[in-house]
Structure 1
Amino acid sequence: MNKKWIGRAVLYTIAIALLVGAFFSLPYYITKPGMAKELEPIIEVEGGYKEEGSFMLTTVVMGQANIYTYLLAKISEYQEIYPLSAIRAEEESDEEYKVRQLHSMSTSKLAAIEVAYKKANKPISFEYNGVYVLSVMDGMPAMGQLEPGDRIFQVDELNFKSSEEFITYVGDKQAGDTITLYFERNEKEENVTLPLKAFEADQTKVGVGIGLVDDKEIIVDPEVTVETSDIGGPSAGLMFSLEIYNQLVKEDLTKGYNIAGTGTIDVNGTVGRIGGIEQKVIAADKADAEIFFAPNEDGAANSNYLAAVQTAKDIDTKMKIVPINTFEDAITYLEALKQKEE
């Protein structure tokens, strides 16, 4: 009987250890190859032109490590381990990180639309709705009162049109003054009155302790819809801009090829560095992409492009890696591309 109970105790102990190992988070993030996702189904320009080939964004899968995923990443060739500080800002909560990633995607999407419509000589205007709260600082008045994702649309009697207007208005006041913020949370309007406090890092500046980003809508003709509810971060900017532009113009720039890629984009069309380039090359290769656009970073020694070329060599893919500095670089390459033979 004692041996039986001892055996059960050992099994229970092992089961508990396995459970703890699965749910106990380590201070690391693990990334691994994700997928290449065709953009035409998630981007729709009203009355837009169709394409023979496809533009694809590429993703990585990322999550906080537990004991098992950490050990697996250690022995996996294309899984990367990052300390928490390399992913999240100091004192940034998981919720704040998620909100920041979603708003990075939103900003990237707006820039991609602006770049594509300007190139196609289509009209653009903006409608400002206020600012979003990205983060809340510990020890400041907003802590416990505002949350990441709140949309502030009015401060006192001021209906401001940008984060700069908000910051200027608050910055003209003094520590101890109060302001009333009107905001929307979960589709309900609320307000809160808060005192202003000097920032610990700079006693000459006052605020309530929130990080902000503009909430604005871009108005274009024809209308465009970009469904990105399940995608975070800014790295799809370049590929968004190419898909949108391709639907705006009659010439099909895909020329029948499956074209994947990655890279941030700003309103000037500059393509920027992203993380996980090696894993995205693998994702594109698995999706049978024939061409891959990689940020060239003006020929930097450690550019995404060079890392992508090395990965393509390592996995022995026939996919062509193309260096891209700007949106115009990508357009020039595509316009010179020969039509794919059937």
Structure 2
Amino acid sequence: MPRRTATMLASTLILIALLCAGVLIPVPYSEMSPGPTVNTLGDARGEPVLQIKGHKTYPTSGHLNMTTVRVTGADYDMNIVEAVYGWLAHDSVIVPHDTLYPNGKTEEESTQENAEEFSQSQESAKVAALKELKIPVTSRVVVSTVVKDSAAQGKLHAGDVIKAVDGTAVTKPEDVAKLVTLRKPGENVVFTIVPAKTAAAAEKAGKEPQGSEEITLTTRKAPSEDPANPSEDRAIVGIQAGTDHTFPFEVDIKLADVGGPSAGLMFSLGIIDKLTPGDLTGGEFVAGTGTIDDAGKVGPIGGINMKLVGARNAGARYFLTPDDNCAAAAADTPSGLTLVRVKTLADAKKSLDTIRTGDPAGLPSCSAG
């Protein structure tokens, strides 16, 4: 066989071997890509995303789109070829697998966590929107979860309203842990609560829960979070406190197959638009993202660049961008999309007023670096 032919054959075989290796050998990476966007003012799967009963609502126009990111599953084995293609593509991002699924988190665990965060974001979105409109919302501290085999198991239950700990009134979830840790492990602590069933019945009737009772728990020693500095004195009872709310009318958010907390801002704006005369957007296509807390503070999210691409592909002209995501967003903004920096729900609402008047030069912008 001529030397040139042999060399070409050997090179071809090596190339084939490398391609096979590239396809068969998994690498520890995952892919993020633009997900679907949903207009919070419109419908999803045949029903309105925002459903309000018991209060006057108004017609809306334009778009206030929440944005999403698709990610590969926890069990998906990406190969070298896919990773290289993703690195070269503009509409996807390749990240270490542990970035999306830290500490060996399974896809089921990640889905459950995202569902819980999505539920909490809906609650905060409703609270923030109604507070922005000066509509009263009643809030109370409740037992969110009870740890298995803890001192509280069987005595406290999820949904119990916590009125006081050792006689000191509780107004915020963090008050509970502070008051419990005033005790030493092994000492008793007294919770004044309204049982979950009583509280639920009162909420359904639109009333403040009544009929409290006292529950005595014996505290236990908290497990050490740092083996080098063991905690010997911190007392716990094995619950996580949270906040529950009573709304003056019904506000439901109907959106399936979406997780995480990043749609909070856009849900709040959609609720405000439906509860007030006129259009927040003036008919413009506005998309955005951002977590939101009960006070209306907007927080950062992940996958900002993928959400920008998804929004622009859907037709958005403006993108409401959390302040902490601004630099990354400004470094790679799709053509034709105007970034609008927001820190609070009030900021976002003010920016929509500016967009509606047709003067984008007055919008707070994002800058790279």
**TM-score for both structures, normalised by structure 2:** 0.64
Match of 2:233 among 198, 201, 204: 204
Q: Any conservation in 2 of the 1:270–1:327 contact (CA below 8 Å)?
A: yes
Distance in 1, Cα, partners of 2:328 & 2:318: 15
Over residues 163-183 of structure 1, what are the superposed CA-to-partner deviations in whole Å (9 max), with x where a residue is unaligned? 44653565355546799x999
Instruction: List gaps (5 residues or longer) in structure 2.
Output: 1-19, 42-47, 198-216, 359-369
1:305 aligned partner, one-letter code? C
- Aligned runs of 1:93-242 on 2, under 5 Å? 96-132=109-145, 151=158, 153=160, 163-164=173-174, 166-168=176-178, 170-171=180-181, 174-175=184-185, 196-200=220-224, 201=226, 202-207=231-236, 212-214=240-242, 216=244, 218-242=245-269
- Aligned runs of 1:1-342 on 2, under 5 Å? 28-40=29-41, 41-46=48-53, 47-62=56-71, 63-64=73-74, 66-68=76-78, 71-76=81-86, 77=89, 78-88=91-101, 90=103, 96-132=109-145, 151=158, 153=160, 163-164=173-174, 166-168=176-178, 170-171=180-181, 174-175=184-185, 196-200=220-224, 201=226, 202-207=231-236, 212-214=240-242, 216=244, 218-297=245-324, 304-313=325-334, 317-338=335-356
Q: How many residues in Structure 1 have an aligned counterpart in Structure 2? A: 290
Counterpart position of 1:5: none
Relative to structure 1, is the Cα distance of residues 334 and 162 closer, same or farther in structure 2, using a 3 angstrom cutoff?
A: closer
Distance in 1, Cα, partners of 2:327 & 2:66: 19
Percent identity over paired residues: 28
Distance in 2, Cα, partners of 1:95 & 1:249: 40
**Structural RMSD (CA):** 4.1
Tell me by how many angstroms 1:273 deviates.
Answer: 1.3
Tell me by how many angstroms 1:311 deviates.
Answer: 2.9
**TM-score for both structures, normalised by structure 1:** 0.69
1:214 aligned partner, one-letter code? G
Distance in 2, Cα, partners of 1:169 & 1:338: 49
Distance in 2, Cα, partners of 1:207 & 1:321: 46
Distance in 2, Cα, partners of 1:71 & 1:151: 48
Report the more deviating stretch, 233-242 or 195-204.
Answer: 195-204
Relative to structure 1, is the Cα distance of residues 226 and 50 closer, same or farther in structure 2, using a 3 angstrom cutoff?
A: same
Name the SS for the 2:261 alignment partner: coil
Over residues 27-50 of structure 1, what are the superposed CA-to-partner deviations in whole Å (9 max), with x where a residue is unaligned? 654322111111122112233212
Distance in 2, Cα, partners of 1:57 & 1:252: 17
Over residues 206-225 of structure 1, what are the superposed CA-to-partner deviations in whole Å (9 max), with x where a residue is unaligned? 33666x35151x32334211
Relative to structure 1, is the Cα distance of residues 67 and 275 closer, same or farther in structure 2, using a 3 angstrom cutoff?
A: same
Tell me by how many angstroms 1:276 deviates.
Answer: 0.3
Relative to structure 1, is the Cα distance of residues 170 and 119 closer, same or farther in structure 2, using a 3 angstrom cutoff?
A: closer
Report the more deviating stretch, 52-61 or 325-334.
Answer: 325-334
Tell me by how many angstroms 1:111 deviates.
Answer: 2.3
Over residues 207-260 of structure 1, what are the superposed CA-to-partner deviations in whole Å (9 max), with x where a residue is unaligned? 3666x35151x3233421112453221111111111011111102112111211
Over residues 50-106 of structure 1, what are the superposed CA-to-partner deviations in whole Å (9 max), with x where a residue is unaligned? 211121100001232533367524322233344454345657665554443333223
Relative to structure 1, is the Cα distance of residues 175 and 98 closer, same or farther in structure 2, using a 3 angstrom cutoff?
A: farther
Relative to structure 1, is the Cα distance of residues 170 and 87 closer, same or farther in structure 2, using a 3 angstrom cutoff?
A: farther
